[in-house]
Amino acid sequence: MRYDYPGIILFILIINAFVFPQVDWRINSEVGLFKSSGYGILREESLLTRFDGFIKYVYEEDKKNASLSLRVRPEFYGSDNPINSIKLKAEGGYFQVEENFNWGLNVTGQKNFFNDVLFDFTYDVFTVVGDAAWYYFGDLTLNTNAGYAYQKIKGNEKYKLDLFFADLKLISPVSSSIKFGYGFYFERFFIRNEIDRQNILTTNRNDGIRLGPQLNINYIRDFIINIDYRMLVHESDFIEYFSYEHWIRAVAGKIFFNYWSIFLLVDYNSYHFKKNEDYIEGITPLYTPLNLENRIYLKIAYELSNNFELYTKGGYFKDNLYEDTFSLEGWNALIGIEFNGGM
Amino acid sequence: MKKQSDSILVKLFFAFILITGMISVNGQSLSNLENRYRQLNNQYDKEIKILDSLRSIYTYRTSQIDAEKKKKNPDNERVIELMSGSVSISNKIEAQNKRIVRIENDIENIKQQLHKIYVSKIDSLELLKTGSEDEARLNAEILLLTEKNILVAPKILSLSFNPEKILVIDLNGTKDAKEKSLYKEYLNSALSEVNDVLKKVSLQISEIDQIIALQTKTKKFLEEAELESNMIIQNQRSTSPEIDVTNSPAFRESDGVTTSSDFVSNIKTYQFILRQLDIQQLSKTDLKLNISLDEMSRNLDVKEYQKLLNEVKERLQEFKLVLANKIGSSK
């Protein structure tokens, strides 16, 4: 009953999509297997069924555009005692072209609900990002981003993260299809957690910074490849000098035989923290529980027509939670169909 | 602890400034560039002369081989000797061609840099001119820079025939056989030119279609992947490949890869062709690409370029039909 509302909303939006031409939409249905090293049913191999609905309204004028999108994704893990999940994401964006620069603003809200027979788990993210590209430096383009993100995880324990970040990158074209970027990333974070152990509630906090140089290489012509690398130095209440992190994100893709496409995403983090004497394992939060994750994600798709696509995808992830003492890993392999339309 | 982290911050800041400075130093002075341009042109002329000499020797050698072979009793040893000499010259010609292509690329690169500098200097002088007492001197300087700029500015190609005149040609109404034959030749050459441009435009459309499809699919794939993960903030825009001018496609010509400034010049060319074909402004277009060259080079929408190409293709196809009809209907 709980999942009826998103379905109704999506249905209304899709009906609207046929009325308004500036609307882009898609519906996916997927089924497959998953395995995770989590607790209970998630420790087993089992069935995963997923539906995904996306709708985006775009308003365009001469040198500006605004968009609003909504995404709803119900997921059902297992069959006997299923874990259900629903992910909702709303996003608004505005983009404007000026004479010597472009600028944009993006606001995103994401809510994830998980529930099974034992407990409920929610995970929320909210971000506001302003970005601009400056064309004052000959062939070089200066990209700047700054924003705020809020993240909240609520299950048996509660985590809250506030972070402010700024990102500066100079993009230099190496050739017509290759560009090279280099710059600097800065982040200020504030983490709070609440842990209940034997009915004793403890509240902990950790504030710090994460900063360092970044490199990017991008190629696009017959195929696309984009690699981002950051070497980030950490400084927070529970770690000592010199604590750092390597962060790599690579995306590659190719369209082949006209209707086939293959895409690969690799996220890799390796971190080296020197904890200080105030650190208590499993109690005081570091940066790790919130966004360090290694994963590989692959998708192969075949376009049946302009509006239909068949695909198979697989993903593997490994979260190193609580600084290597506990890790959560898993994989899934799915086949799906997409029905899309609009612009 | 704080002091240590402050020191890291300071070091990282200076390292960043240093790296940025090192890479962004592309500021060769104008006179250095002009000297380099002259040197390269001189070198190019010399290398072309060497190539011509090598070709003459090669032609002479091959004619000697032919002459020897045609003899009643050809001296095989002599033929072999001549052939091995020819192979060595042929290799030298190949190496010389490569050297010339490299110089051509260097010249093209410097031409682009010079063009940008001249344009910006001319603009600055034009600004200074207003209200200046030294107008005559500034005018002379502007003229000199404009002359130099003409030599290095990207070429804007257009259709060599006049589409408006083509429309009024009536082969059947022409009585004089010589005149008719001349007109027919003119129409045939126009048709062949239209076919060539159409071929080029179609190739570019398919390449840009592929690039846009790749960008769209990559964006969709990343959106899916973001939601795949439960514990990750990755939606900062900098992490996804963006569509901006530095990502803009430039297109593969038959003899190599074009640069992004060629891409801008392509747009100029197609705008020009579009205007040529838009006789009496009969068909209005909603294209937004009616902007200055400088603005284009910085801030270009790839989808607008796709629209422009499609529009050019459509007009060329219409014109091809007209030409084919005129040629085909003549008695």
Pull the structure tokens for residue B117: 């500098």
* pLDDT tens for each residue of A266-312: 988 888 888 888 787 777 777 754 455 688 999 999 999 989 999 99
Inspect the interface and report whether the beta carbons of B246 and A179 lie closer than 8 Å: yes
Both tokens of residue B228? 């795949």
User: Looking at the complex, does the CB of residue B288 fall below 8 Å from at least one CB of chain A?
Assistant: yes
Average pLDDT over residues A237-260: 91
pTM (2 d.p.): 0.67
> What CA–CA distances, in Å, run from A141 to A249, B245, B246?
21, 9, 8
Closest-approach residue (CA) in chain B for A71: B227
pLDDT in tens, A96-141: 988 788 899 999 999 988 776 666 778 888 999 999 989 888 778 8
Nearest CB neighbour to A263, from listed B20, B221, B242: B221
Interface of B with A in 214-233 (CB under 8 A): 214-215, 217-218, 221-225, 227-233
Asked if B12 lies within 8 A of A212 by C-beta distance, the reply is yes
Domain boundaries defined on chain A: 5-342
Cα–Cα distance, A53 to A74 (Å, whole number): 9
Chains A, B: CB contacts under 8 A, how many? 180
> What does the pLDDT look like over A34-57, one tens digit per residue?
887 765 545 567 788 999 999 999
**Residue B216's beta-bridge partner residues?**
none
**Phi, psi at A46, each rounded to 5°:** -155, -175
Please tell me the predicted confidence (pLDDT) of residue A298.
95
Q: Give dist(CA A220, CA A245) in Å, integer.
A: 28
Residue of B nearest to A229 (CA): B239
Asked if the Cβ–Cβ distance from B221 to A299 is below 8 Å, we say yes
Computed over every residue of chain A, the mean pLDDT equals 84
Check pLDDT > 70 for residue A13.
no
Chain A residue closest to B295 (CA)?
A: A99
Shortest Cα distance from A108 to chain B (angstroms)?
A: 9
ipTM: 0.85
* pLDDT computed for residue A42 by the predictor: 54
How far is the CA of B21 from the CAs of A183, A303, B14, B17, B24, in angstroms?
12, 47, 10, 6, 5
Q: What is the pLDDT of residue A234?
A: 92
Instruction: Determine the residue among B299, B303, B305 to mutate to test chain A binding: the one whose Cβ has the most chain A Cβ atoms within 10 Å.
Output: B299
Given A151, A167, A226, which is nearest B241 (Cβ)? Answer: A226
Does the beta-carbon distance from B244 to A99 stay under 8 Å?
Answer: no
Q: What is A240-263 written as a DSSP string?
A: EEEEEEEEEEEEEEEEETTTEEEE
B239/A291 touch (CB, cutoff 8 Å), yes or no = no
Tell me the mean pLDDT in the region A156-183: 88
**Residues from chain B contacting residue A129 (CB–CB below 8 Å):** 235-237
The DSSP bridge partners found for residue A50 are A30, A75
Which chain B residues have a beta carbon less than 8 Å from that of A315?
225, 228
Interhelix angle B260-277/B177-228, nearest 10 degrees:
130
pLDDT per residue, tens digit, chain B (331 aa), is 555 556 666 665 555 555 444 444 444 578 888 899 999 999 999 999 999 999 999 989 888 888 888 888 888 888 888 888 888 898 999 999 999 989 988 888 888 888 888 888 888 888 887 777 788 888 888 888 887 877 787 665 677 777 778 878 888 887 788 888 888 888 899 899 999 989 988 988 888 888 888 888 998 898 888 766 544 333 333 333 333 333 333 333 333 333 344 556 666 677 777 776 665 444 444 444 444 444 444 456 677 788 888 888 888 888 888 888 888 876 5
Q: How many CB atoms lie within 10 A of CB B94?
A: 11
CATH architecture of residue range(s) A5-342: Beta Barrel (2.40)
